[in-house]
């Protein structure tokens, strides 16, 4: 997650000219549940977006820390601050905008909290989320032995399924892909993402074997997402799944580290086969695409 946030902050500074000081936990960034990471990333997006849109501040600080049993995130700007009536409404939990209401609701679902401090020297947004206890990988008794080791139950043969991450901003498309894969004994959907930033978070958290990636995504397009995932060193295999087709698309996708391309109009015919071929180390680019590009 630390790499994803760093990429986002770097991009925001380049787009807006606002300087953001980023403070992350020392050493390797801790791993949290995908829901926690997605929620924190959304809050980072919204809080820094508010700095850009409303504060008038030229600088900001984003600080994420792990304190006892909580993740703590602070976004501080040094702008004009909030009007007293807005601040009072925010502290009372009243809706004063989609952004703050959305952040509060996301945190509430995780047992977290949102606090806002503001005066003439700027505004600080503080979000806290309780850290979930990691689930045990196997049942064990008080001695630490598994049931298989104690002989109380025979060991189960592991069934290895390849994990698929679906990235598309249309819920109906994601649902369709999930339905297409649900009866495939060797494949399982490990997660879904609705935009490029969420795709980056989930690619790091879920470690899928293959990503089915739409190219037309909100906030960050599919090609930009693919580029950043590769620069982060993530080895996930990627299949572009899109309605888009333009000259040299196949070449652009291959150069960007994409292993396949499937047109959405042929999803029911080609997608499962494309996933299996890509997982087997073979590229999947339909000949019709090359012909269309050369026409």
Domains belonging to the chain, first-starting first, are 17-130 (3.30.565.10), 162-294 (3.40.50.2300)
**265 vs 131, more confident:** 265
Q: Has residue 42 got a pLDDT over 90?
A: no
Determine the Cα–Cα distance for residues 139 and 146; give it in Å rounded to an integer. 6
Give the pLDDT score at 271: 95
Give the pLDDT score at 164: 97
pTM over 0.85? The answer is no
Q: Has residue 291 got a pLDDT over 60?
A: no
**pLDDT tens per residue across span 1-20:** 677 788 888 888 999 999 99
Beta bridge partners of 67: 70
Average pLDDT, the chain: 81
**pLDDT tens per residue across span 135-184:** 433 333 444 444 344 444 444 444 589 999 999 999 999 999 999 998 89
Close Cβ partners of 107 (under 8 Å, ≥ 6 residues apart): 39, 43, 113, 114, 127, 128, 129
Close Cβ partners of 51 (under 8 Å, ≥ 6 residues apart): 18, 57, 60, 75, 77, 79
Residues in the chain: 295
**pLDDT tens per residue across span 45-65:** 888 988 998 899 999 999 999
User: Once rounded to an integer, what is the mean pLDDT over residues 92-121?
Assistant: 75
């Amino acid at each position: 997650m630390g790499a994803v946030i760093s990429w986002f902050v770097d991009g925001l500074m380049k787009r807006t000219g606002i300087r953001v000081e980023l403070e992350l936990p020392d050493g390797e960034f801790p791993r949290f549940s995908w829901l926690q990471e997605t929620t924190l990333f959304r809050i980072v997006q919204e809080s820094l977006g508010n700095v850009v849109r409303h504060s008038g501040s030229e600088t900001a600080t984003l600080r994420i820390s792990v304190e006892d049993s909580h993740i703590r995130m602070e976004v501080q700007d040094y702008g004009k601050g909030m009007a007293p009536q807005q601040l009072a409404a925010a502290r009372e939990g009243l809706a004063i905008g989609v952004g703050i209401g959305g952040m509060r609701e996301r945190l509430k679902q995780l047992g977290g909290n949102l606090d806002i401090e503001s005066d003439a020297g700027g505004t600080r947004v503080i979000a806290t989320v309780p850290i979930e206890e990691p689930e045990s990988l196997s049942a064990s008794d008080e001695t630490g032995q598994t049931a298989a080791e104690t002989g109380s139950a025979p060991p189960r043969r592991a069934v290895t399924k390849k994990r698929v991450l679906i990235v598309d901003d249309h819920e109906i498309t994601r649902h369709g892909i999930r339905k297409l894969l649900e009866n495939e004994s060797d494949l399982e959907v490990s997660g879904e993402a609705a935009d490029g930033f969420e795709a980056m978070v989930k690619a790091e958290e879920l470690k899928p074997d293959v990503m089915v990636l739409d190219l037309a995504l909100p906030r960050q397009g599919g090609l930009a997402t693919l580029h950043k995932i590769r620069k982060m060193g993530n080895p996930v295999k990627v299949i572009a799944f899109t309605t888009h087709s333009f000259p040299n698309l196949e070449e652009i996708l291959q150069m960007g580290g994409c292993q396949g391309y499937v047109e959405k109009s042929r999803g029911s015919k080609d997608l499962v086969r494309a996933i299996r071929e890509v997982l087997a180390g073979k590229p999947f680019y339909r000949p019709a695409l090359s012909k269309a590009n050369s026409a």
